[in-house]
């Protein structure tokens, strides 16, 4: 059975998609950017560390709404508009995964919707 996950503590979808979908003990988390859930505004004015913190908080709040935690995440996709900012992103990223690191892919694109510099999506497997 599929369960649509929604929380006001993370960015509301800006298109026809769900924040996350839970199927059994697997959660598919939609892309999140570094925006403030209250305003939808991308935070940090280009400072990747600030934008990364907001994006990871959006991801964290969504997985928590699904009944999980960050350590349940098994795969993360990271999309940058400037891969040169990966080191700043990684510095913040490691604070959200202090005990183990999920599998990951990172890539660069020419642009993201809404002027974001970063977008993350993830897959989580919740512990029974």
The CATH number of the structural domain formed by 2-125 is 3.30.1330.40
Q: What is the pLDDT of residue 59?
A: 98
Token duo for residue 56: 């990871």
pLDDT in tens, 22-70: 999 999 999 999 999 999 999 999 999 999 999 999 999 999 999 999 9
pLDDT for 128 beyond 80: no
pTM of the model: 0.96
Q: Where are the domains of the chain?
A: 2-125
DSSP 70-90: GGGEEEEEEEES-GGGHHHHH
* Integer Cα distance of 18 and 76 in angstroms: 17
Distance separating alpha carbons of residues 107 and 68, to the nearest angstrom = 26
Question: How, if at all, do strands 73-80 and 118-125 pair?
Answer: antiparallel
């Amino acid at each position: 059975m599929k369960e649509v996950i929604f929380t006001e503590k993370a960015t509301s979808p800006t298109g026809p998609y769900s924040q996350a979908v839970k199927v059994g003990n697997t959660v598919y988390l939609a892309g999140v950017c570094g925006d403030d859930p209250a305003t939808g505004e991308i935070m940090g004015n280009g400072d990747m560390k600030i934008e990364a913190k907001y994006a990871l908080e959006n991801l964290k709040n969504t997985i928590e709404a699904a009944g999980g935690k960050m350590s349940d995440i098994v795969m993360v996709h990271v999309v940058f508009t400037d891969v040169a900012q990966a080191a700043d992103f990684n510095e913040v990223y490691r604070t959200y995964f202090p005990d183990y690191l999920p599998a990951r892919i990172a890539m660069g694109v020419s642009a993201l919707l809404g002027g974001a510099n970063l977008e993350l999506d993830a897959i989580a497997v919740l512990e029974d």
